[in-house]
Copies of this chain bind each other. A is one copy, B any other.
């Protein structure tokens, strides 16, 4: 009896001879406890470690061979990576040569690079992820163009019967103030009706997908056509490879509180891995990008006036109402 996913065996980098579905059994979805078998598999995989002369990031090695569950059927896992914090420093010192000798520490140099938007040294690190995600999330994600992608093709192969169905606490109403956001969580009958519609429609669409494809007593519709019947919450999978600079850009936009929840959870899962991979770079990113604020020239002026004791209003700030609202959210 197959109790646990086979992904440890199936998806070994460099060794996989075919590609199979990773399944998280329904009942184990949330907790992902490690079974004895699984622990044995991991142990075996880790015993297969091979020697390399390349830079090794110990914090990242621990993420290889594990898949971080995201949403109800999705995951993110690291397939491969190149470089570490030292690779960023090494590349910067090639560029700046003796000019950087006065910077004492590697971390100080990395913070300096981040602060001054010197992005090329961060491009010297690369990451390759295997991601399973709903199609509507994939459509948003793919807009980040500076990446290499190989996606599961529903033209060649048949998709699995797996759909994203939001957890009750994610079933939110349209925001009344933000055209692209969510408001309160739906309650009672409305929530129940929505859940029922999403589940039933997805199931029926998949049943019909299968019956159109079926070659049992009929020719069977071409896969490249049948797929058009499937809704945007069906899961797809891809390999996605990018450099650290572009990954930070992705994280800044997608781990942001304004990003849609369903992509944000992927960004957050990736961020946790990056933190272990390049701790100094991630620290600088957190301070200067995620936790930072971009001030306009007007914003700088207002702050100076307020520091000098002046009470500035929206009218006297020169800012639009929208900009003022965002400014006040940060500085009160």
Contacts and interface: CB of A to CB of B under 8 A. Distances in A.
Contact of A145 (B19, B145, B201): B145
Interface string A147-177: 1111111011110000010100011111100
A257 to B, nearest CB: 13
A140 B15 CA distance: 29
Most buried by B among A46, A183, A288: A288
Interface in A178-208: 179-184, 186, 190, 193-194, 197-198, 201-202, 204-205, 208
B115 A296 contact: yes
A154 B149 CA distance: 24
Interface in A76-121: 80-84, 86-87, 89-102, 106, 108, 111-112, 115, 117, 120-121
A19 B93 contact: yes
A139 interface: yes
A93 B173 CA distance: 24
Contact of A184 (B84, B87, B97, B219): B219
B204 A201 contact: yes
Contact of A94 (B97, B238, B297): B238
Contacts of A117: 253, 294
Contacts of A218: 190
B93 A16 contact: yes
B157 A97 contact: yes
The SS class assigned to the A binding surface is mixed
Interface string A128-153: 10100011100100110111111111
A166 B212 CA distance: 14
Interface string A49-82: 1111111100001001100000000000000111
A174 B297 contact: no
B150 A94 contact: yes
B307 A90 contact: no
Nearest to A221: B194
Nearest to A301: B291
A299 interface: yes
Interface in A225-239: 225, 227-233, 237-239
A61 B52 contact: yes
Most buried by B among A53, A146, A231: A53
Contacts of A291: 296-297, 300
B96 A157 contact: yes
Interface of A: 13-19, 45-46, 48-56, 61, 64-65, 80-84, 86-87, 89-102, 106, 108, 111-112, 115, 117, 120-121, 123-124, 126, 128, 130, 134-136, 139, 142-143, 145-153, 155-158, 164, 166, 170-175, 179-184, 186, 190, 193-194, 197-198, 201-202, 204-205, 208, 211-213, 215, 218-225, 227-233, 237-239, 241, 243, 253, 260, 286-288, 290-300, 303-304, 306-307, 320, 322-323, 326, 330-332
Given A98-B158, A183-B222, 7 more contacts: A46-B53, A54-B64, A175-B222, A198-B229, A231-B231, A286-B297, A303-B331
